[in-house]
């Protein structure tokens, strides 16, 4: 009986020694790994940017309100590209990447509303007009409001409520910058004959 206990103790000592060695080895590996990683100068882990502005708008979600139902879209879209990217001359006019265009949306009002909501992001609106589609009459509205709360909503507050059952059109003439951030319309490049194109 006593012998058995003695054997078990010896075994336990070996197991404890092995366990301590294993833990020491793991710690060593972690330290070596961290030292090696530090030498590689890795790109820092991406962090989530803090919201730049607090939500301001009433919209409960990203979806447009159901008061207005689009019937047709007419879109003109032109991208202005230049063949050579010269990073030492970023402010030259032939290094600017833009897109321009206009859109006409015809829609029917199914529930009376004083606001037209649409999605718009990072655009300069050169012109915006709302018309009664049947009479062609231009309808008065206040300055549009952009929501910088992640919804990308643009609101056109109308002077008079749009009437249920009637058809209207919204015309927008826009200008945008083509970014290199892989969002929306963006520019990409390739190498050819030693030049970045």
Ligand X SMILES: *[C@@H]1O[C@H](CO)[C@@H](O)[C@H](O)[C@H]1NC(C)=O
| Residues engaged in binding ligand X (CB under 6 A) | 71, 76, 86, 88-91, 102, 108, 122-124, 134, 165-167, 171, 176-177
Based on CB atoms, which residue is closest to ligand X, 22 or 69? 69
- Read off the tokens for 175: 């200008």
Rounded least distance, CB 64 to ligand X, Å: 18
- Read off the tokens for 91: 């402010």
> What's the half-sphere exposure (Cβ side, CA atoms, 13 Å) at 96?
9
Based on CB atoms, which residue is closest to ligand X, 113 or 167? 167
- Give the distance between the most distant pair of CA atoms in the chain: 108
Based on CB atoms, which residue is closest to ligand X, 150 or 165? 165
Based on CB atoms, which residue is closest to ligand X, 8 or 124? 124
The residues, any chain, with a CB within 8 Å of residue 162's CB and separated by 6 or more, are 67, 68, 109, 112, 113, 114, 116, 168
107 and 65 Cβ atoms separated by less than 8 Å: no
Which H or E run includes 61? none
Based on CB atoms, which residue is closest to ligand X, 9 or 197? 197
Rounded least distance, CB 91 to ligand X, Å: 4
Rounded least distance, CB 74 to ligand X, Å: 8
Q: Which residue has the closest beta carbon to ligand X?
A: 89
Residues forming a β-bridge with 148: none
Rounded least distance, CB 69 to ligand X, Å: 9
Rounded least distance, CB 177 to ligand X, Å: 5
């Amino acid at each position: 009986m006593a012998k058995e206990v003695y054997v078990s103790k010896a075994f336990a000592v070996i197991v404890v020694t092995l366990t301590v060695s294993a833990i020491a080895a793991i710690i060593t590996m972690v330290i070596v790994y961290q030292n090696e990683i530090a030498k590689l100068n890795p790109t820092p882990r991406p962090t989530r940017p803090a919201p730049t502005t607090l939500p301001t708008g009433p919209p409960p979600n990203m979806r447009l309100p159901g008061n207005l139902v689009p019937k047709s879209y007419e879109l003109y879209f032109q991208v202005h590209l230049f063949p050579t990217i010269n990073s030492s001359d970023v402010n030259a006019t032939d290094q600017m990447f833009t897109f321009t265009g206009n859109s006409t949306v015809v829609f029917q009002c199914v529930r009376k509303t004083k606001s037209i909501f649409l999605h718009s992001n990072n655009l300069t609106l050169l012109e915006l007009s709302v018309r009664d589609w049947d009479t062609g009459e231009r309808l008065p509205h206040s300055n549009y409001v952009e929501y910088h709360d992640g919804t990308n909503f643009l609101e056109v507050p109308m002077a008079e409520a749009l009437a249920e059952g009637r058809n209207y059109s919204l015309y927008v003439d826009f200008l945008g910058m083509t970014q290199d951030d892989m969002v929306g319309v963006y520019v990409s490049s390739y190498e050819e004959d030693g030049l970045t194109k």
